[in-house]
Structure 1
């Protein structure tokens, strides 16, 4: 069964900021490629939910191409996967939720 994917406002901000950064620094083609990589990774998450657990009930899943990880939690009773953050891997892990 596929879970519904929900993103928090912080995760949405992470995605938008990363997209804008790539657009400004490397161009729209690279920014679009980042967004496609994010969507591809989320589509994998819909099928297999239990990737690497980091602490408490949080899990992480790396993007395939870009150096980002998706931090998420599974709400099994509601059949929801909630994405809390989308982190560049060079960021301080203490900023994880």
Structure 2
């Protein structure tokens, strides 16, 4: 089964800010970050249940390996809802 992927506004803002930050550090790095992130989104479209619930009742987390981020999401029926692409150096109490 392939799940529909919905990225909420907060997550879109976090992604765009991260792209801008990495692009400012090194030309092409922001684009690489986005391509890398999209690879994780593909995993979530096909196997979102692989990752455990970290915050009850339904928030799951998928950590990125090459960048210090975690994707915070939930599964609702046939949809994966991305709530946040959270930078792990931020205050964890601000994570959804």
Distance of 1:70 and 1:22 partners within structure 2: 18
How many positions carry a matched residue from both structures? Answer: 94
**Displacement, 1:63?**
1.7
| TM-score using structure 2 length | 0.92
| Kept after mapping to 2: 8 A contact 1:59/1:71 | yes
**Displacement, 1:28?**
2.7
Gaps of 5+ in 1: none
Distance of 2:83 and 2:53 partners within structure 1: 14
Distance of 1:65 and 1:48 partners within structure 2: 20
| Kept after mapping to 2: 8 A contact 1:72/1:82 | yes
Give the structure 2 partner of residue 43 of structure 1.
42
User: What RMSD, in angstroms, separates the aligned Cα atoms of the two structures?
Assistant: 1.0
**Displacement, 1:64?**
3.1
Give the structure 1 partner of residue 71 of structure 2.
70
Distance of 1:60 and 1:17 partners within structure 2: 20
